[in-house]
Every structure is written in structure tokens, then in C-alpha cells.
Amino acid sequence: MENNKCELIAAVDLPTLDAAREFLEKLDKATPYVKIGPRLYAMGGAAFISEIVKKGYSLFLDLKLHDIPNTVASAVEPLSEMGLWALTIHTSGGHEMMSRSVAMRDKRGSRMNLFGITVLTSLGGDLWSEVHPGSDLNRSLEARALAAERAGLDGIVCSPLDLSLLRGKAEKLARVVPGIRRTRASTEDQTRVATAKEAAEAGASYIVVGRPILEAADPISEVRSILKEISGVQ
Ligand code: C5P
């Protein structure tokens, strides 16, 4: 992507549109990168997206699309025209699903980044084996990253612990990294986690942080403290 510096994406996983508006107002673009997921998208739709984009934020819509190639590419068509900075699709949907999405985005003349989910950061150990019996998580992760690169995606979403495994592979792709915690001990449902500094040092292009910011006593000073932690790490 543009540079080697690690940037912070604030995940605005709040329960209402008004709570999100209030957060964005207070954030005042301390970081310009913000992410919303299916909940706020279901509540606010295209109008809410346009409202955030007009405020000058680089908006990441994390819908993690995963369906047959035609269905995903046809959803990418209108999503390409909303002024989004980025959208997620699943690499496990396969090469055709990803490459047709890229082709659709390009056909619409959009600059929206397409990021591929590799393996969810919540899916470690037994949770992985239960739904992928006999399959090695690391091999799947690597194969999915390479497939994303071949299909022309702009980045991959992976756990901070996956960054070392992916070093030197799929190098054209930005690394978008959730699963960030203030300490390794506080994990909630994220099982493959690291601190912001560890992720930046391991090569994250963007870290995605939700609850550690939103549940802090003072969310905006938490944003500033994370920005300070990752600044200067190349
Ligand atoms: O609250 P927390 O910091 O765990 O939020 C992480 C954010 O990143 C959530 O919005 C979640 O949906 C998203 N995410 C993730 N794992 C992925 C992709 C996205 O946790 N593989």
C-alpha cells in the first residue's frame, strides 16, 4: 500500500447509529480509518455510509462476503459506488469469487480496497479442528493468502500471530490485523492475539481495534495511546 507505516483502524462496533455518530464526532479523525460491520450496516444502510464518508473518514465496511462468485460480484457492484475505502470478502470463497469481485470493482472504476479474510482471529485450536478436520490452520492460511494475491486483492485480514508465517509471502498484499489487546491476557472471544506494538513490529500495515478502545474509560485517549505505541515502528 502507500507506505510501510502501521495505521490504526478503529472498529466502531457500537449498538446504535447515534452511539456511532457520537464516537466519530469525539474521535475527530485522530485516526481517519474506521470500520463498521453488519450490525450498523443493517441499521443505517447506504445513507449511514454516505454520512460517515462525508465526514471525511476512510470507511471500511466489514461484511466478510462469502457466497457463489456471481452473488458476491453482484453485491460488489453497488458497494463499489459508495465511496468506501475498503470492503471484506472471504478468501475461502475461492479464486473465482475473489477475481470476479476485483473485476467488478475495476469495471465500476472504483478505488475501494478489497481485503480477503484468511482465518478468523477467533478461530483457534479446537474451534478450527471442529469445522476443518484433518486440516492444518497454518497451511490453509498460507494457501488462502496466496490465492488472494493471485486473484488481485489489495490486502488480507489475518491474526497478528500469522504475520511471521506470512513473511516473504503474498508480499504485494497489505496486512490488516485484528485481534489486538492491551495485554496478552485479556482476550474475550479473540484467541490469536497480540499487542498493538507487537503487531506493528511484526509487519501489520493496519491494526483493527474495537473493544480495547470502545470499552476504555476514555476511548479517545486510548486511540491516542495506541497511535503513540505504533508510531515510529516501520
Ligand atoms: O473488539 P475487537 O478488537 O476484538 O474487534 C475486532 C474487530 O475486527 C471486530 O469488528 C471483528 O469483526 C473484526 N475482525 C476480526 N477477525 C477477523 C476479521 C475481522 O476480529 N478475521
What local confidence, expressed as pLDDT, does residue 1 receive? Answer: 45
Nearest to 89 by CA among 71, 111, 109, 107: 71
The Å distance, Cα 197 to ligand 1 centre, comes to 17
Q: Which residues line ligand 1 (CB under 6 A)?
A: 11, 13, 37, 62, 117, 120-121, 157, 178-180, 190, 208-212
Strands 113-117 vs 86-90: parallel, antiparallel or unpaired: parallel
In angstroms and rounded to an integer, the radius of gyration of the C-alpha atoms of the chain is: 17
Nearest-CA residue for ligand 1 atom 3 is 210
CB 53 within 8 A of CB 59: yes
CB 222 within 8 A of CB 4: no
pLDDT digits (tens, 9 = 90+) for 34-66: 999 999 999 999 999 999 999 999 999 999 999
Nearest atom (ligand 1) to Cα of 35: 10
- Active-site option among 5, 55, 64, 197: 64
The Å distance, Cα 178 to ligand 1 centre, comes to 5
Positive or negative, the Cα torsion across 20, 23, 29, 35?
A: negative
pLDDT digits (tens, 9 = 90+) for 77-88: 999 999 999 999
The Å distance, Cα 58 to ligand 1 centre, comes to 17
What local confidence, expressed as pLDDT, does residue 2 receive? Answer: 44
Nearest to 10 by CA among 224, 229, 234, 232: 224
Query: Which residues of the chain fall short of a pLDDT of 70?
Result: 1-3, 184-188, 190-191, 234
Please tell me the pTM assigned to this model: 0.94
Q: Find the DSSP H helices in the chain.
A: 17-27, 38-54, 69-79, 95-107, 125-131, 137-151, 196-201, 211-214, 219-230
CB 80 within 8 A of CB 55: no
What local confidence, expressed as pLDDT, does residue 121 receive? Answer: 80
Q: What's the CATH superfamily of 7-231?
A: Aldolase class I (3.20.20.70)
Rounded alpha-carbon distances, angstroms, from residue 64 to 168, 203, 233: 25, 23, 29
Rounded distance between C-alpha atoms, residue 187 and residue 114, angstroms = 27
Residue 99 CA to chain centroid, in angstroms?
19
Nearest-CA residue for ligand 1 atom 2 is 210
